Amino acid sequence: MQKKKSSVFRTDLRPPLLICAIVGVLLLGMFLAITFVITDISEIRLYGIALCASYGVMVIILLSAYLMRYQRISRANDAAALMTTEISDMFRYVVDIPYAIVGEDGNVKIVSGALQDILQFRSPVCNVPLDMFCTVPMKDVIAYAHNGGQVKDITFNEDGVPIDHTKPMITEIEGKKYGLRCYIMRSRGKDYYFIVFNDITDLQELRQQIYENEPVVAYIVIDSLQELAQYIRVSYRTAVNEIEAKLKEWAAGFGGMLREYEREKYLLVFTRAALDRCIAGKFPILDTVRSIRLGDNSFPVTISIGVGAIDGSFEDKERAAGDALDVALQKGGDQAAVNDGKSVTTYGGRVNTMAGSTTITSRVNSQHLCRLMKDAGNVLIMGHRAPDYDSIGSCVGLARLAICARGGDTSKIRIVVNREHINFRICYDLLSTLPEYRSMFINGDTALDAVRTDTLLIMSDVNNVFNTEAPKLLKCVNNVVIIDHHRRQDQLYEFKPLMTYIRPGVSSASELVSEMLEFSPHHDALLKEEANLMLSGMMLDTKNFTSAVGMQTFSAVHYLYERGAHANVVRKFFTETMANLFTSSDIDSRTRTYRDKIALTWLSVDHPATEEDNIAVAKAADKLMTIDGIEASFALLRAENTVTISARSHDKINVQIIMQKLGGGGHYDMAGARMTHVSLEGACRKLKAALDDYMDNEYESENKTKK
């Protein structure tokens, strides 16, 4: 803020008064000196009168001169004030700039002639609130004026992603848009704000046209059509032609260009306006293609779409579309993923799609991973936090693959895990007899010290960075591999993985690693203790082979049995303690139904939290699915300031979408979420709101497509 400058047209009376005082003091001194020299009273009186008369004449002359100067300057100030008023009036009415002068209280004091005409005010002098015609709040006007520009309002979510809440300094008046520029001014000791309204209607329309015509690139692939053709009698080419006809009809509806660049793979170029229409309708082409049935009318066909909606060259858009397609496929297919450069948003995902990988895929990925392990300076293998048997078992299987790939050297291979967790202690009892595992397991802090420039970090049974055992590792390691069976989360990695092997159709990460070991050159190297751990992981995630299992699952079990695994050995992993029994009883007693087909339960907050509570809550969610008429179950656990939700379903409710609304994820029929800084009651309210949104907007349409 600039300080007010002093006017050059002013009269300062201090100099003449100072002169008068000095002269008066000198004359008084002379008079006192005379009284000491002259003793005659009459002479002294005569000198005194003369000195006083001289002083009076001098004061009159001096003040008269300054009074004449004061009058001359006053006339000049009056003329300048009149001229300023005339110029102000001319500026207000002649210069075609809409502006308003507003007080700190938000009341408009005066408006220009241009703004007066726009607002149809009778007088330029008014006392109306600014919000009567301007939607920009007064606090933003004041902040803009004091800072010389708009102040950004940016917050960060739990994942550290910046969210811009800054509202533009734009208002609409009589159908036109105006951008505001604000300046501070001071008058008579008070602050006022000079607001200029710039007509940006044409500019906004031009920007909107540029935005709507911005080209967008998308990749489209048909999910698992070749695999479906293996199980049903159907003409493969006929099915492809029918799907392609639907895609062309859809693209022609908004003027898009569709070209097949590879078998069952298409490139689509269209506009941002068309993309907004697709997003508003949640990509209806997904439902259209899903309505195509094969065989005995029970197998739906699905597609996956990856959209690159970013600024930049066509090469950048194509790369972004490819990344988005990877997300759509790794989340299970049957969905569209839109990459805007900041995040990936998915739409669809209503069908539990068939796994689209084969033994060939496992063999290729196994060979590629072995090559990466061999070339790395050292290998770190990490699962998710609060590790379960599948996380630990898959990490152990990958460690065996790494040992073989590096010629038996175990000194540069480490598994990052919480060594204090009860699940790890149970697993370690089985491995403690093997010398290679006595120093294999380290915690996250120790792993940070082991990082080198050529370190290879493998994430197993997890693809969400923030759910890993040591998220800090991912900021230090350049070479990352992801192996997981969970649907990929809607997040863009800060790193580019060297290898991503995500198959949501697979029962467990242990099954994935078992396949990779079986079809690698080292298929005979797996020890029976390792095989038993991997078998326990598969038994956990499949609920003893009653959920999410397929032919490849039992093939992997057969391989583990060949390597010495047996259910009798791992049965002790699933034994119940008396404390767990009481915990299960507490959870069962709190079960409630919601919307007739959903079961909700929770563990009492009065119950002292233990490490085994997460397992008990997950088992409770599984148990609720055995109740007749229940299509989905949700079990909640609050520990400290975090609420964990375990979700299960059959084939009618997609719990992955519901958990995604709460910041979680998972599979179509098994998912979870974690909410921090929330009470158990608050988490229940959020869960019910997500359930209501899903049941009211997506449940009916999903099940119509399955009929």
Q: What is the pLDDT of residues 92-132, one digit of tens each?
A: 555 678 888 898 888 988 888 888 888 888 877 788 899 89
The pLDDT-based confidence of 542 (bands split at 50, 70, 90) is confident
What string of DSSP letters covers 518-529? HTSTTTT---HH
Q: What is the pLDDT of residue 356?
A: 46
Q: What is the pLDDT of residue 231?
A: 47
Q: Are 176 and 98 in contact (CB under 8 A)?
A: no
Q: What is the pLDDT of residue 273?
A: 93
Q: What is the pLDDT of residue 354?
A: 46
The pLDDT-based confidence of 90 (bands split at 50, 70, 90) is low
Q: What is the pLDDT of residue 3?
A: 41
- Residue 620 clears pLDDT 80, i.e. is over it: yes
- Residue 265 clears pLDDT 70, i.e. is over it: yes
Closest CA to 73 of 125, 24, 10: 10
The pLDDT-based confidence of 373 (bands split at 50, 70, 90) is very high
Q: Are 644 and 614 in contact (CB under 8 A)?
A: yes
Q: What is the pLDDT of residue 2?
A: 40
- Residue 6 clears pLDDT 50, i.e. is over it: no
- Tens digits of residue pLDDT in 555-598: 899 999 999 999 888 888 877 667 777 777 888 888 999 998 99
b/e per residue 65-84 (b: at least 16 CB within 10 A): ebeeeeeeeeeeeeeeeeee
Q: What is the pLDDT of residue 74?
A: 73
- Residue 17 clears pLDDT 80, i.e. is over it: no
- Residue 627 clears pLDDT 80, i.e. is over it: yes
b/e per residue 639-649 (b: at least 16 CB within 10 A): eeeebbbbbbb
Mean pLDDT of the 533-542 span: 90
Mean pLDDT of the 59-85 span: 71
The pLDDT-based confidence of 704 (bands split at 50, 70, 90) is low
Distances (CA, A) of 600 to 157, 545, 680, 696: 28, 24, 12, 18
Question: What is the CB neighbour count within 10 angstroms for residue 399?
Answer: 24
- Least confidently predicted of 233-237, 362-366, 367-371, 458-462: 233-237
- Tens digits of residue pLDDT in 468-491: 999 889 889 989 999 998 777 656
- Residue 295 clears pLDDT 90, i.e. is over it: no
Share of the chain above pLDDT 90, in %: 32
- Least confidently predicted of 201-215, 229-243, 499-513: 229-243
Q: 0.85 cut: is pTM over it?
A: no
Q: What is the pLDDT of residue 121?
A: 85
| 572 contact partners, CB below 8 Å, separation of at least 6 | none
Please give the domain boundaries of the chain with CATH numbers for all domains. Answer: 14-93 (no CATH), 99-207 (3.30.450), 214-348 (3.30.70.270), 359-574 (3.90.1640.10), 578-706 (3.10.310.30)
Distance CA 636, CA 274 (A): 41
Distance CA 434, CA 417 (A): 18
- Tens digits of residue pLDDT in 133-177: 999 999 899 989 888 888 777 766 554 556 667 788 999 998 899
- Residue 355 clears pLDDT 60, i.e. is over it: no
Quote the distance between the C-alpha of residue 508 and its chain's center: 28
Q: What is the mean pLDDT of the chain?
A: 82
